[in-house]
């Protein structure tokens, strides 16, 4: 059975079309865009195709107080409110859902590499952060009650040990 982190690695080559959440808090600090959201949903799509995936970014906390990501691949943008587009091909778009929430998008959004950070305990991968290398930037996602996502021009450092990479 394929693990969640292995499916997350399959995002390489997709476009990140948007980050959605019921409430997004966005700030600009030292030329970095920082987003905070509870259970954000990433919308990714193969270029010019109906191959669309949503990644809900959940989290958990262990007994020591460390936060870990719980990414979940899904076919719809739940838990966000959305409407199904009846015939997306007739509208000359491959978009399947209209999502009623806050959103954020990134220009030059091809995912070139996926890197996971965290720990491996007893053959179990525990993610604390994920970095998506895009064409002109990086998107890092760190675990917490409100996930922290940063869009930067430089590869993020100090995220811990890299435990997988598509490089």
Q: Which tens digit of pLDDT belongs to each residue from 34-51?
A: 999 999 999 999 887 778
What's the predicted TM-score (pTM) here? 0.90
Q: In what order do the strands lie in the sheet with 147-152?
A: 25-29, 32-37, 147-152, 138-142, 124-133, 113-121, 162-165
User: CA–CA separation, 9 vs 164, rounded Å?
Assistant: 8
pLDDT digits (tens, 9 = 90+) for 41-77: 999 998 877 789 999 999 999 888 889 999 999 999 9
Residue 64: its pLDDT value, please?
Answer: 83
């Amino acid at each position: 059975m394929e693990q969640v982190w292995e499916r997350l690695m399959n995002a390489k080559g997709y476009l990140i079309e948007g980050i959605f959440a019921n409430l997004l808090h966005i700030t600009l600090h030292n030329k970095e865009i920082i987003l905070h959201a509870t259970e954000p949903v990433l919308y990714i799509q193969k270029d010019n195709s109906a191959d669309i995936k949503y990644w809900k970014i959940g989290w958990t906390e262990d007994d020591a107080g460390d936060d870990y990501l719980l990414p979940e691949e899904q076919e719809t943008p739940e838990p966000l409110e959305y409407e199904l587009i009846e015939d997306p091909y007739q509208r000359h778009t491959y978009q399947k859902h209209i999502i009623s929430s806050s959103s954020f998008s990134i220009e030059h959004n091809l995912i070139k590499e996926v890197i996971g950070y965290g720990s491996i305990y007893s053959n179990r991968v525990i993610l604390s952060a994920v970095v998506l290398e895009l064409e002109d930037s990086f998107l890092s996602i760190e675990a917490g009650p409100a996930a922290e996502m940063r869009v930067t021009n430089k590869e993020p450092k100090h995220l811990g040990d890299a435990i997988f990479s598509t490089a």
